[in-house]
Amino acid sequence: MSKTALIRIRFSDGTQMELPENESVQVVIDGPGDKPKEGWARLNGDKTPALFGKANKVRAAALAQGQHMLTFRGVLLIEGARRV
């Protein structure tokens, strides 16, 4: 059985996570912003301050610096993503 390669993602808050490269994650494709616009949804649930934007699913292998990723900790800015 072959082992799936991992992607190590570093975030601007100093944290990091590793995911299989074929894992689906949500990234913000428009926004985030503090005011809702047409077609935007709330990204961070009941947390304050509210963040709005559009999100889309992508494979972890497609992540790049500067994208915002939705995680269980909220919306985090990606500083780097590379295969380990």
Q: Is residue 29 part of a domain?
A: yes
Domain coverage including residue 76? 6-83
Cα-to-chain-centroid distance, residue 71? 6
Q: For the chain, how many structural domains are there in total?
A: 1
The confidence score (pLDDT) of residue 73 equals 87
The confidence score (pLDDT) of residue 78 equals 97
Residues 6+ apart with CB under 8 A from 46: none
Residue 7 has pLDDT above 90, yes or no: yes
pLDDT digits (tens, 9 = 90+) for 30-76: 988 989 899 999 988 887 888 899 999 999 999 999 999 999 888 99
Among candidate residues 72, 19, 22, the one with its CA nearest the CA of residue 47: 72
Q: What is the pTM of this model?
A: 0.86
Q: Is residue 39 part of a domain?
A: yes
Q: Is residue 61 part of a domain?
A: yes
Q: Is residue 1 part of a domain?
A: no
Q: Where are the alpha helices (DSSP H) in 1-84?
A: none
